[in-house]
Amino acid sequence: MIRALAACAALTLTSASGTQACDNQQVHSKSLLQVHGPTDPAPRNHDDLVGLCVVQDDSCFDLQLDKRWHNASWSKDYEFPPDAVQLVVARHGEDLRWLDALPQLPAVVYNRGGADSLLPSPRENLRIVSEENHGREDEVFLHHIVENYDALPQVTVFLQGWPFGHCPGFLKAVRNTISAMLLPGQVAELQGAADASQGLAPLTGTFWQYNINAGRLGLASSLASKHFPLGREREALNYARVLYNETCTKILGGAACPGVEWTAEGAQWAVTRDRIWSTERSIYMDALSLGEGWEGKFRGLVLEALWPVMFGSAQWKPTKVDMIPSQAGQAFNRARSNDGFCASETSGSRKLLFSCQDRVEFCERQRKSGASTGKLFESERLGFKIHDASDFGPWRLEAKLQPILWGSATWWPRASPEAQSMRNVSFDPDIVELDGLLGLRRSDRTDLAAVQWNITESGSGYAFSRLDFRGQQQFLGCQEGLARLLPEPSSWQFIKLLDGWIQMRHTQAGRVLSMDDRSSEGRLYCREAAGLDSSQAAFVLQTLRK
């Protein structure tokens, strides 16, 4: 999950609508919604607003969410009956306070870790189920379906812990979608919920088309190409194809895998129970027992494309979209909503929207440079190990440094065909120290803890230091092309990538902190910037919580 990235945050990226070859399944809406609210929008008052600190387009700012439905003709005190609709949220550390802006909607949160201070306020129609941290959102959703198969509300909305990532305009999108599903009379007035009348609607504005025969399977293809030696791309794609087809067939309980599928980025769907019931409970159960698969995420990748099939619409494709095949990457096609669905309500932007909680170091740097960061960041930063300048010392921030692995969960060396023994060694995106050298943690060395850094200003850049077990200060530096812990300070310049991701340039050596080209063992190097591709040298600083 965006933690290390929501399903595909890192790869997370027109006019083919046409009529959907879709069943005539209609939502059977009983007249269950009797809405009594003020007809005139009341003036916005403080009680109606929930503030969120967010990052988008290289800036930190406050997003104000209005608790009142739509244009405020619906009061915030209204509640949907529990048999009408339920939000099902898979949490893995994310900031969930946005749920406070949707008090009308019954919700269940499967909480697999993260700060309690980021949970929504308690309320009667919200249940928080604490669980061990295993699996991804597909596991949570399958489990929820299996456990509640006979007691589903009319509409279920499956969501990631931070649903704004792929859907910056999430609040409006989810309200429109639910209205369209439960109040068919209103559909005509609603924008951007084109599929909702069919009882199945994605909560994203970005779509990818996969094609098995063409070997264009999006993230599955990218993953495979990262795990095979250079020069064997064809073999890698074939591996992805076979594994995808096999996983897909298993998920579908042995039924043939459709060769072409549209994926709604992020796996967030609103769906009626009739549609969930179009697949037998035993099929969901079997899919659940398959486990996460390759890289701990392969089933999730395949399911991301298969949810519509599971939900009774094998030929599903997005409507009201523009095709942008030129940006399809490893997929066959890409499409984007053309009616503003899921775009930010204030700026119209569709760029990924992050919580400040995941980008504290970036917002802090903005704040220091004098850029506006919104009011909320002032209180957000108090929860983190940020030490303002004082009589005892200069400004200092404590953080872990992590490489961005662009879509994969772990880093794999591209071993030579001969070195088969390396083929099943993977590396976590955590940086550890071994004999003064720095590198990614091998999957079999969970005993090594990620290095925590003190980051201080140094010249026009930053110094990274830590205390070793003897209490001696060591600094991140460069020596003979390798990143090392050294006794003398070094200064690092941050070169801006998007939304707080950085490249780090060693001021004195003029080299860039980087991974190798996957030919070696997950070490960190200091290399010439020329010739490096961005996937080798992108990092993010995760500020430590107090």
Ligand X SMILES: *[C@@H]1O[C@H](CO)[C@@H](O)[C@H](O)[C@H]1NC(C)=O
Please, which of residues 199-238 interact with ligand X by CB under 6 A?
212-213
Q: Tell me the sheet residues that pair with 130.
A: 111
Q: How far is the CB of 376 from ligand X (least distance, A)?
A: 27
CA–CA dist 408, 108 (Å, integer): 28
Residue (162 or 210) nearer to ligand X, CB = 210
Nearer to ligand X, 468 or 528 (CB): 468
Residue 446 as a binder of ligand X (CB under 6 A): the answer is no
Any idea what DSSP says for residue 325? Answer: G
Q: Which position among 26, 379, 424, 508 is part of the footprint of ligand X (CB under 6 A)?
A: 424
Q: Residue 114: how many CB atoms within 10 A of its CB? A: 18
Q: Pick the closer one to ligand X by CB: 426 or 514.
A: 426
> Using the rule CB under 6 A, which residue among 398, 428, 430, 433 binds ligand X?
398
Measured from the CB atom, the residue of 81 and 393 that comes closer to ligand X is 393
The verdict on 358 binding ligand X (CB under 6 A) reads no
Least distance between ligand X and beta carbon 65 (Å): 17
Instruction: Give the pairing type, strands 482-486 and 492-496.
Output: unpaired
Binding flag, residue 542, ligand X (CB under 6 A): no
CB of 421 to ligand X, least distance (A): 5
CB-wise, 213 or 372, nearer to ligand X?
A: 213
- Identify whether the C-beta of residue 144 lies closer than 8 Å to the C-beta of residue 285: no
Determine, following the binding rule CB under 6 A, whether residue 452 of this chain makes contact with ligand X. yes
Q: Which of 383, 466, 520, 542 binds ligand X (CB under 6 A)?
A: 466
The verdict on 333 binding ligand X (CB under 6 A) reads: no
Q: What is the DSSP string of 469-527?
A: TTS-EEEEEEETTEEEEESS---EEEEE-GGG-EEEEETTT--EEE--SSSSSSB-EEE
Q: Does 472 bind ligand X (CB under 6 A)?
A: no
| Displacement of CA 477 from its chain's centroid (Å) | 32
449 binds ligand X (CB under 6 A): no
- For residue 349, state whether it binds ligand X (rule: CB under 6 A): no
Closest C-alpha among 468, 462, 491, 467 to residue 478:
491
289 and 250 Cβ atoms separated by less than 8 Å? no
Instruction: Name the residue nearer to ligand X (CB basis): 230 or 467.
Output: 467
**Of 5 and 343, CB closest to ligand X:** 343
Q: Is 325 in the site for ligand X (CB under 6 A)?
A: no
Helix (H) or strand (E) segment spanning residue 271: strand 269-272
In the complex with ligand X, which residue's Cβ is closer, 97 or 317?
Answer: 317
Binding status of residue 416 toward ligand X by CB under 6 A: no
Spell out the long-range contacts of 233-241 with Cβ–Cβ below 8 A and sequence spacing 24 or more: 240/215, 241/212, 241/215, 241/217
Our finding on whether 421 is near ligand X (CB under 6 A) is yes
Binding mask 56-85 for ligand X (x = CB under 6 A): --------------xx-x------------
Quick one: which of 60, 145, 201, 257 contacts ligand X (CB under 6 A)? 257
Asked if residue 35 binds ligand X (CB under 6 A), the reply is no
**Of 245, 278, 458, 493, the one binding ligand X by CB under 6 A:** 245
Report DSSP state, residue 537.
S
Looking up tokens 């996937």, which residue turns up?
A: 535
Q: Looking at 86, 111, 156, 454, which residue binds ligand X (CB under 6 A)?
A: 454
For 45, 164, 170, 443, 543, the CA distances from 356, given in Å and listed in that order, are: 24, 12, 17, 29, 11
Q: How far is the CB of 98 from ligand X (least distance, A)?
A: 23
Cα–Cα distance between 201 and 431 in angstroms, integer?
Answer: 40
467 binds ligand X (CB under 6 A): yes
| Sign of the torsion formed by the C-alpha atoms of 64, 73, 180 and 153 | positive
* Site membership for ligand X, residue 280 (CB under 6 A): no
Helix (H) or strand (E) holding 209: strand 206-211
Query: What is the token pair recorded at 212?
Result: 């098995």
Interface size with ligand X, residues (CB under 6 A): 17
305 three-state secondary structure: helix
Residues that bind ligand X (CB under 6 A): 70-71, 73, 189, 212-213, 245, 257, 259, 398, 421, 424-425, 452, 454, 466-467
